[in-house]
Structure 1
């Protein structure tokens, strides 16, 4: 009789083991899903900061040069303008995919082909940039308002940029 009791308390039954594995798999799945969403949100925030960094670099460079210059925004990021007669405000391109998986960033904007800065660094053009990253429903927007080139960041909802 003692042998049967020793065997019964010696380990887990197959059913108990399967339940434990199922619970662990469920917890791992939940953690992975929320981790992926968090990563997508961080990628979106990084891309938003890089849009703002390009604008800041353009302002600063125009002030340093003491003459007007321009930058252009494409799916790849900030770069010098294609033609137009104004020099680039950037020493080198500033990619928006930095820290974001290739192709994961969706960028739309209504900016002109070349975003111009005055000789003292004022933004002469305006528009809205909308950023989205696969894996999160959150969308960010950057609005450049005229006449002073004031920039604000918000959440893109229902076709407008709401303050963050």
Structure 2
């Protein structure tokens, strides 16, 4: 004789419930840590490109207007030169309203207080900028070489700015 249970089981057992919660928690932790690294890298990439855009737009504005202008690189991003007889590249600043480093991105550079652009679009100053972001070990760099101000973006490693084909 076979006994048949007339009551059907409804719901989950305690063991099934605990295993399910553990799996969902593990997936949430993996998703959160991977997502924060990606977000930090995206902030860093955007800040690096905005830094380069400021230089390129300042150069284009000086050439278009046929007069020299200048920009100042502050920890927050591009700003008009504070104490300079050189007029600021106003159109460039208007298009770069979003800051480069908003707290999550750290900017260190050796550019002069005023980055000068000649009336024919040449950059009269050079330097290196290094950007890092909390949440990632990646560091980006921008090198501007003289005499014509060619910029190069790369990965900062071991005290040097190395070319990066992913840029």
TM-score, normalized by length of structure 2?
0.89
Matched, 1:146 2:146: yes
Which residue is equivalent to 2:38?
38
Give the aligned partner of residue 97 of structure 1.
99
| 2:25 match: secondary structure | helix
CA contact (8 A) 2:140 2:156 kept: yes
> Structure 1: which 5+ residue stretches go unaligned?
none
Q: How many residues align?
A: 160
Structure 2 unaligned spans of 5+: none
Corresponding residue SS for 2:27: helix
CA offsets 1:33-72 (integer angstroms, 9 cap, x no match): 1011111111111101110111111001100221211111
**Residue in 2 that maps onto 1:17:** 17
The aligned counterpart of 2:86 is 86
Q: CA RMSD in A?
A: 1.7
Report if the CA contact (8 A) 1:104-1:133 is conserved.
yes
State the alpha-carbon separation in 2 of the partners of residues 141 and 90 from structure 1. Answer: 25
Equivalent position of 1:107 in the other structure: 107
Give 1:83 shift: 2.0
Secondary structure of 1:6's counterpart equals coil
| CA displacement at 1:5 relative to structure 2 | 7.2
Structure-1 residue corresponding to 2:60: 60
CA distance in 1, matches of 2:97, 2:138: 21
**1:47, 1:96 within 8 Å by CA — same for their partners in 2?**
no
Report the CA distance between 1:84 and its aligned residue.
2.3
Matched, 1:128 2:124: no
